[in-house]
């Protein structure tokens, strides 16, 4: 049974810092991994999707990596801004059409 | 393109009542998935609909049922509501093209059961 864990559960850093969020999964047989952002009380915004054959994806100040063999993904945020404050969730997709989610990392960027 | 839309935005019900939530998928998408997100947790998969049939189901009781219409829109029905059903209900759509595809999410429906 696939399990997804995100560490840390919460993170508070000063504006301008580079930071890394972690996601680990127990079953390496995945189709892809997605990173999402969720603002308080809101829905989900897809940030990056990494297919199982890929090692990383980049969008602006965001870079996500995937290491299937070790069951790990990282989301790197460069030059953090207060507007980056949100909860970041990762989800893995397997062959049964389901997305399996971590509980998220709540990120606070202090001005 | 309006993206994935859901209605209503918020809903308040009492225990024992029944509720219907609605979802319209992104243009060009034929697959709809429903998720339940309790406060402070990641979403949990409820079920997925494709070609008007339930293709896969998560670990949810039969009180949770759904439907997909010929235009690919979908409904989630919950009977005999419990306090624990209070959550954000998210709908996601994707195209079905063989291998798994990226899911796009709607804004969610916030259900409160009193």
B103: contact with A, CB 8 A cutoff: yes
For chain B, the residue count is: 114
Q: Which residues of chain A have pLDDT under 50?
A: none
Starting at the earlier edge strand, list the strands of the sheet with B64-68.
Answer: B5-7, B19-24, B74-78, B64-68
User: What pLDDT does residue B93 have?
Assistant: 92
At B98, is the pLDDT very low, low, confident or very high (cuts 50, 70, 90)?
low
Contacts of B43 in chain A (CB under 8 A): 44, 89, 91, 99, 101
B25: contact with A, CB 8 A cutoff: no
Let me know the angle formed at the C-alpha of A107 by A6 and A18, rounded to the nearest 5 degrees.
Answer: 95
Q: Do B33 and A99 touch (CB under 8 A)?
A: yes
Nearest C-alpha in A relative to B104: A46
Let me know the angle formed at the C-alpha of A13 by A8 and A16, rounded to the nearest 5 degrees.
Answer: 130
When pLDDT is averaged across residues B77-91 and rounded to a whole number, the result is: 97
When pLDDT is averaged across residues B46-65 and rounded to a whole number, the result is: 94
Q: Choose among A33, A91, A32, A104: nearest CA to B38.
A: A104
User: What pLDDT does residue B40 have?
Assistant: 87
Contacts of B57 in chain A (CB under 8 A): none
Strand partners, A14: A110
User: What pLDDT does residue B100 have?
Assistant: 61
Instruction: Evaluate whether B23 touches B3 at the Cβ level (below 8 Å).
Output: no
HSE of B103 in the Cβ direction (CA atoms, 13 Å)?
A: 32
B95: contact with A, CB 8 A cutoff: no
Higher pLDDT, B90 or B97: B90
At which residue do the structure tokens 């399990």 appear?
A3
Average pLDDT of every residue of chain A:
94
At B95, is the pLDDT very low, low, confident or very high (cuts 50, 70, 90)?
confident
Q: Do B105 and A44 touch (CB under 8 A)?
A: yes
How many angstroms away from the CA of A29 is the closest CA of chain B? 13
DSSP letter for each residue of chain B: ----EEE-SEEEE-TT--EEEEEEPPTT--EEEEEEE-TTS--EEEEEEETTEEEEE-S--TTEEEEE-TTS-EEEEE-S--GGG-EEEEEEEE--BSB----EE---EEEEE-
Cβ-proximal residues to B36 (8 Å cutoff; 6+ apart), any chain: B43, B44, B46, B60, B87, B88, B89, B90
């Amino acid at each position: 049974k696939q399990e997804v864990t995100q560490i840390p559960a919460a993170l508070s850093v000063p504006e301008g810092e580079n930071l890394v969020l972690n996601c680990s999964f127990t079953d390496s047989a995945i189709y892809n991994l997605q990173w999402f952002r969720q603002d308080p009380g809101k829905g989900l915004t897809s940030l990056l999707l990494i297919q199982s054959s890929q090692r990383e994806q980049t969008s602006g100040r965001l870079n996500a990596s995937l290491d299937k063999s070790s069951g790990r993904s990282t989301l790197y945020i460069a030059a953090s801004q207060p507007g980056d404050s949100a909860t970041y969730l990762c989800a893995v997709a397997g062959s049964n059409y389901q997305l399996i989610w971590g509980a998220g990392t709540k990120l606070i960027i202090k001005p | 393109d309006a993206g994935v839309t859901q209605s209503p935005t918020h809903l308040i019900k009492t225990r024992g009542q029944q509720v219907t939530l609605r979802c319209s998928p992104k243009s060009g998408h034929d697959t709809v998935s429903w998720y339940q997100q309790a406060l402070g947790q990641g979403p949990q998969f409820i079920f997925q609909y494709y070609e008007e049939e339930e293709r896969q189901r998560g670990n949810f009781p039969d009180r949770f049922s759904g439907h997909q219409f010929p235009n690919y829109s979908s409904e989630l029905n919950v009977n005999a509501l419990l306090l624990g059903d209070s959550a954000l209900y998210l709908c996601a759509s994707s195209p079905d093209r063989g291998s798994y595809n990226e899911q796009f999410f709607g804004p969610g429906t916030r259900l409160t059961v009193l």
